[in-house]
């Protein structure tokens, strides 16, 4: 498949990819997180770099090697992710948000380890900033791509997210498909646009999903006025 694509067709483009989970610390030794493996984002970063783009990969804690030629920035919390992405996105042509950003963080991060207390415990959380939406408010020429995992009403919810966040498209998937999504090497996604138009892709390797995503983004960039 790859040989059919023109090589180095992303030369001169700056691409920012976020990947992996965030960790929202409660105290120095405990955090709220999720099982995102980072594989999808690393596949996008690797494919973009091999096609000639200048790639910054902002990654949460994952167990993956940095693809060759990619500049990696490691972060833990959503607030750190936001700072790193917003900064590198200034000069970017394309931003792909595959990171599984925690929606909430602890209202107060304890500076010392909390001892065990009573039989129940309540933790107050506050909402994290929506990074994709923030990039969407001052979009310029950039192409913005998001990912969403939904358990129900996927197309409707993903289209609503594309609208609210001003994303060019969202790649939607479901957590239930074996070998796909969290931790798997394959992905079965549906490309969803803000107007609700959608297109289901077959089950593909994450690398091939990345290649198709980049094909789409490249076409959108080429169609934009300078
Ligand atoms: N996203 C983001 N910042 C956040 C939350 C999500 O940039 N604080 C991005 C994700 O990286 C992803 C897209 O938004 O590309 C959709 O993520 P999702 O969690 O599905 O969106 P939410 O708006 O958080 O919706 P939900 O309430 O369904 O979790
Ligand atoms: Ca969310």
Q: Mind listing the pLDDT tens digit for each residue in 18-45?
A: 999 999 999 999 999 999 999 999 999 9
128 a catalytic residue: no
CA distance 38 to 85: 16
pLDDT digits (tens, 9 = 90+) for 72-102: 999 999 999 999 999 999 999 999 999 999 9
At residue 110, φ and ψ (nearest 5 deg) are -70, 140
User: ipTM score here?
Assistant: 0.99
Q: Are 82 and 97 in contact (CB under 8 A)?
A: no
Cα angle value 187/136/193 (rounded, 5°): 45
Q: How many residues does the chain have?
A: 226
Q: Are 68 and 52 in contact (CB under 8 A)?
A: no
Show binding-site residues: 103, 113, 129-132, 147, 161, 165
Residues 34, 63, 128, 187: which is the catalytic one? Answer: 34
205 contact partners, CB below 8 Å, separation of at least 6 = 43, 185, 186, 187
Ligand 1, residue 148: give the atom nearest the CA: 20
Angle of helix 206-222 versus helix 39-50 axis, rounded to 10: 50
CA distance 26 to 186: 33
pLDDT digits (tens, 9 = 90+) for 45-68: 999 999 999 999 999 999 999 999
Confidence tier at 1 by pLDDT (50, 70, 90): low
CA distance 144 to 81: 16
Q: Is 161 in the pocket of ligand 1 (CB under 6 A)?
A: yes
pLDDT digits (tens, 9 = 90+) for 144-203: 999 999 999 999 999 999 999 999 999 999 877 666 657 789 999 999 999 999 999 999
The CA R_g of the chain, rounded to the nearest whole Å, is 18
> What's the N-to-C CA distance of the chain in angstroms?
31
**Helix (H) / strand (E) containing 170:** strand 169-173
Helix (H, G, I), strand (E, B) or coil at 165: helix
Q: Residue with the nearest Cα to atom 9 of ligand 1? A: 132
If you search the block for the tokens 């929606």, which residue do you land on?
A: 103
């Amino acid at each position: 498949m790859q040989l059919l694509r023109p090589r180095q067709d992303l030369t001169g483009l700056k691409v920012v990819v976020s990947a992996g989970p965030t960790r929202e610390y409660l105290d120095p030794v405990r955090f709220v997180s999720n099982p995102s493996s980072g594989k999808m984002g690393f596949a996008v970063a690797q494919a973009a770099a091999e096609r000639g783009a200048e790639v910054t990969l902002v990654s949460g804690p994952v167990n993956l090697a940095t693809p060759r030629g990619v500049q990696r920035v490691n972060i833990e919390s959503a607030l750190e992710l936001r700072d790193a992405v917003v900064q590198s996105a200034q000069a970017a042509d394309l931003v792909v948000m595959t990171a599984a950003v925690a929606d909430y963080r602890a209202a107060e991060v304890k500076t010392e380890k909390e001892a065990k207390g009573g039989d129940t415990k309540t933790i107050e959380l506050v909402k994290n900033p929506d990074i994709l939406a923030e990039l969407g408010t001052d979009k310029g020429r950039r192409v913005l791509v998001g990912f969403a995992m939904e358990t129900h009403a996927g197309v409707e919810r993903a289209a609503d997210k594309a609208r609210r966040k001003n994303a060019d498209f969202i790649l939607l998937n479901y957590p239930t498909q074996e070998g796909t999504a969290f931790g798997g090497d394959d992905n079965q996604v549906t490309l969803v646009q803000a107007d609700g138009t959608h297109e289901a892709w077959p089950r593909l390797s994450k690398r091939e999903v990345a290649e198709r995503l980049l094909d789409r983004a490249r076409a959108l960039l080429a169609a934009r006025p300078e």
